[in-house]
Structure 1
Amino acid sequence: MKEFFKYVFATVVGIIISTFLIAIFFIVFVVAIVSSIDSDKTVDVVSNSVLYLNLDQAIKERTPNKTLDNLPIIGSNVGKSLGFNDLMRALKRAKTDDNIKCIYLNVSSPRAGKATLKEIRDALIDFKTSKKKIIAYSEVYTQDAYYLASVADKVYLNPQGTLEFKGFSSQLTFFKGAMEKLGVEAQIIRVGNYKSAVEPFTNVKMSDYNRQQVTAYLGGLYNTFLEGISVSRNIPKDSLYKMADTYRIQAPKDALNYKMIDGLKYKDEVIDELKALSGTGKKETIATVSINDYATNQKEESTESKNKIAIIYANGDITGGEGSDESIGSERISRAIRKARQDDKIKAIVLRVNSGGGSALASDVIWREIVLAKKVKPVMASFGDVAASGGYYIACAADSIFVQPNTITGSIGVFGIIPNFQNLLTNKIGITFDGVKTGQYADIMSTNRPLTPGERLIIQTDVNHVYDTFTSRVAEGRKRSKAYIDSIGGGHVWVGTDAVRIGLADKIGSFNDAIVAAGKKAKLSSYKIVEYPEKIDPLKSFLSDAGDNVRMYYAKQEFGENFLLYQQLKKVVVNSGIQARMPFEINIQ
């Protein structure tokens, strides 16, 4: 009888769980249908409208399909997001749109990288050439938020608000001590003194090489940050540096006294000013249109030309296989490049890269397609926030490479990590292993014992070969000697201005500059833009990755700010093969 009740209870629990999961998928399905219907709607932009530019949302390379955007169970897609491509087009259109009278910029903590922020900022500066005004207001300005807001004609802060201005810092986390206590050894094979992705697992602090390069690139990022604010606010750069170094902006009145802002105002006072700018009566409601809706309304500029320029988006970690919209699958991206190469109506290609690298093999697969495409039509590369290691590898063969001054690039180096769990499993837990093998190296990548000297030599030879291939690819693409590329390689990370100076990139320029250059090299007077690869249907992606999405969501909730540490440790175990990856996770505050 006891067994009977146990099975009955198990059955009931199973039915309840199954019903719960079915209910979740049903809700997802309904929301997906409703969202897809809403996504086809357009928003009327009436005369005297204010463009509401809310940048406290994820700025991705491409605007994701709206389906499922607001479901909290979708780990990385929580809340609204906007594509950088659509944002740029929207700001360009607003500049000449007679219905848009001004921009209301509201930003506290933008979710975008440094180079993306600079491009957005430059687009806002260009918008101001129309003589239309930009009003910025926030209760809190982080440094990135203020960097954007500083371009506004008027920058306002809540009288009880906060403006952060303290300088940049970059902190790395080291796991060696914890791994020693756990009994786990990270066996490292690498090429390049600056390829410091392995340091968190072998050191307790930064190496001299790593400290040197972090100091250099952090200084480069900070210089771009200060220069932009200096020009916009007409404050000497040295003065800004001293303000941050001595932490002078501690209260709202400090920001006003040092001319960082134009006034301390409450939201209702800002609304009154927006009414005056837009010609709205005091008792009337301002006609506003959000940047998300305005971007959705945008249509590709009409042209009768049959010529096309293809933009290939390469965003995220580089892996083998299909990948996703947030990762670079070698099969999916190489297929997109091949399709653009074989289409006679496509006269040029722009490879848009935002990647810290990944699999060296997958990077080489994509590199090959760029080489083939370059033989038949112009290929330009535009680097976003980061195009380093494998992210640089896939683009080094392009005719020209465009970067922002604060783009992170270079990191020409490779490494491999083989964890050894023997001490943890055998000495601490009591798990032992035994077996047979047909050859001396049949279990060469086993993680339950240390590498033998012979195995380490084999892997080091393989890593050396990959590095030699990598530097050869770069030397060929950049038309430099391999010895020179090796001298600036070794895993060294560079900012965009330095990359141009040493020949890893050609020009400081925007994404649009790369597109214009592609059209010019193809001798096109007019053209259409087509984007590859096709976006993955979000509902199909969710259903296929539902388990991972749920786990990632709850992992984020559990770990909070430490979720990044969890991801770093997971990469050590999950990443297979030799990696051409950034030497560390960049987290600048």
Structure 2
Amino acid sequence: MELLSEYGLFLAKIATVVVAIAVIAVLIVNLTQRKRQRGELKITRLSEQYKEMQEEMSASLLDDHQQKQWYKAQKKKLKQEAKEAKAKAKAGKNGDTGKSRVYVLDFKGSMDAGEVSGLREEITAVLTVAKPQDQVVLRLESPGGVVHGYGLAASQLQRLRDRHIPLTIAVDKVAASGGYMMACVADKIVAAPFAIIGSIGVVAQVPNFNRFLKGKEIDIELHTAGQFKRTLTLLGENTEEGRQKFRESLNETHDLFKEFVHQMRPALDIESVATGEHWYGSQALEKGLIDQIGTSDELLLSLYENHEVIGVRYQQRKKMMERFTGSATESIDHLLMRWWQRGQKPLM
């Protein structure tokens, strides 16, 4: 009995130590996650990348003797630049190139426009440092999605417009429906020749399983307070009155969409383009939906000579489960994109 008692006491001590270690580990993990919860801004000096690319290409085209001379001159140049940077730092002018800045953001939108959480952080960061002579370029790719999500994304871009910071949106692939709602906020829209533009319309579809359930002798009861709390349902029996109200809501949303686009681009013949159709870049230019044909690469290369081009990206740290579910969501979005490209229309 004494042996068993001592053994039990030993196990209790071990269990206490294990629990204590586990509690400490959980606290450390929670504290770490809290610190990382907000995410972080990643700044990329694109001007320097373009400059390095240009220099590497120039050097590679020289013969061996010329390359040696070039590298020697380059070494001398870098030494001089470091000396000048040190002098500027002492004078309190560290990082000041004297050039206006172009802040480059990216928005690759999903159906729920969840990327707006990062966009709002990026725009807030830019607004804290932007000067009147600076500007923003947003590389946009989105087929649209839920109304409230893209409405918020457009409102975030409106913050730049309200502060009189020039905004250019570059579309290489697609800015349709809710994506175009974002694009039209810009002072200038640049799109590639075959980029998909427009689709100023609203669509919704709801499957109904009521007949199937009736065949299986399954009753569905739906109780609401308010005549139109539910217009169409998945399981209950839909009424013509509910369908009519649902169509009215769609038309009201479409009218708000048209009004917003017309407000942003008053010269646009809104009735001729708000049919839900989409056009390619060259066609969109003729209709006034965009301002210039070109790719985002051409646009940034044209700016980097006279401006300091800086990439700004907000990266949210994700837990392992969020990474997994995020990958699954992204796969679904890619599938929806393929369906859309085969003729389906986005939600908005």
Task: Indicate the TM-score class for this superposition, using the shorter chain for normalisation.
Answer: 0.5 to 0.7
SS in structure 2 opposite 1:531?
strand
How many angstroms apart in 1 are the aligned matches of 2:146 and 2:56? 45
SS in structure 2 opposite 1:416?
coil
Aligned to 1:535: 315
How many angstroms apart in 1 are the aligned matches of 2:297 and 2:185? 20
* 1:297-346 deviations in Å (ceiling 9; x for gaps): xxxxx8734743222211032425xx2xxxx33x4323432432343358
Aligned to 2:70: none
For 1:334, the aligned partner's letter is R
Cα 1:448–1:543 change in 2 (3 A) is closer
Aligned to 2:271: 486
How many angstroms apart in 2 are the aligned matches of 1:489 and 1:317? 22
Matched, 1:368 2:146: no
SS in structure 2 opposite 1:449?
coil
The answer to which structure, 1 or 2, has the higher relative contact order (CA under 8 A, 6+ apart) is 2
Contact 1:403 1:496 in 2 (8 A): yes
| Larger of the two Rg values belongs to structure | 2
Aligned to 1:390: 178
Aligned length: 270
Matched, 1:497 2:257: no
For residue 544 of structure 1, the aligned residue among 310, 316, 322 is 322
Contact 1:420 1:449 in 2 (8 A): yes
Runs of 5+ in structure 2 lacking a partner?
Answer: 1-41, 64-94
How many angstroms apart in 2 are the aligned matches of 1:393 and 1:565? 19
Matched, 1:97 2:71: no
How many angstroms apart in 1 are the aligned matches of 2:157 and 2:329? 36
1:452 Cα deviation from its structure 2 partner: 1.7
Matched, 1:314 2:107: yes
Matched, 1:337 2:123: yes
How many angstroms apart in 1 are the aligned matches of 2:211 and 2:136? 52
How many angstroms apart in 2 are the aligned matches of 1:398 and 1:566? 24
Task: Note the 1:236-385 alignment, pairs <5 A.
Answer: 304-305=97-98, 307-319=100-112, 323=114, 328-329=115-116, 331-345=117-131, 347-375=134-162, 376-385=164-173
Aligned to 1:423: 211
For residue 432 of structure 1, the aligned residue among 210, 214, 219 is 219
376-385 or 340-349, which moves further after superposition?
340-349
Runs of 5+ in structure 1 lacking a partner?
Answer: 1-64, 66-84, 102-129, 133-301, 556-562, 572-580
* 1:83-137 deviations in Å (ceiling 9; x for gaps): xx99999787444316974xxxxxxxxxxxxxxxxxxxxxxxxxxxx699xxxxx
1:418 Cα deviation from its structure 2 partner: 1.7
For 2:310, the aligned partner's letter is I
TM-score, scaled relative to structure 2: 0.64
Report sequence identity in percent. 23
For 2:179, the aligned partner's letter is G
Task: Note the 1:75-90 alignment, pairs <5 A.
Answer: none
TM-score, scaled relative to structure 1: 0.40
Aligned to 1:413: 201
1:435 Cα deviation from its structure 2 partner: 4.8
Contact 2:198 2:276 in 1 (8 A): yes
For 1:475, the aligned partner's letter is H
Cα 1:499–1:551 change in 2 (3 A) is closer
SS in structure 2 opposite 1:471?
helix
* 1:478-537 deviations in Å (ceiling 9; x for gaps): 2225xx222122111101111111110111122144446778xxxx943241313x1233
Structure number with the higher strand fraction is: 1
Cα 1:412–1:518 change in 2 (3 A) is farther
- Give the root-mean-square deviation of aligned CA atoms: 4.0
1:565 Cα deviation from its structure 2 partner: 7.9
Contact 2:102 2:307 in 1 (8 A): no
How many angstroms apart in 2 are the aligned matches of 1:314 and 1:397? 14
Aligned to 1:584: 344
How many angstroms apart in 2 are the aligned matches of 1:353 and 1:360? 17
1:441 Cα deviation from its structure 2 partner: 3.1
Structure number with the higher helix fraction is: 2
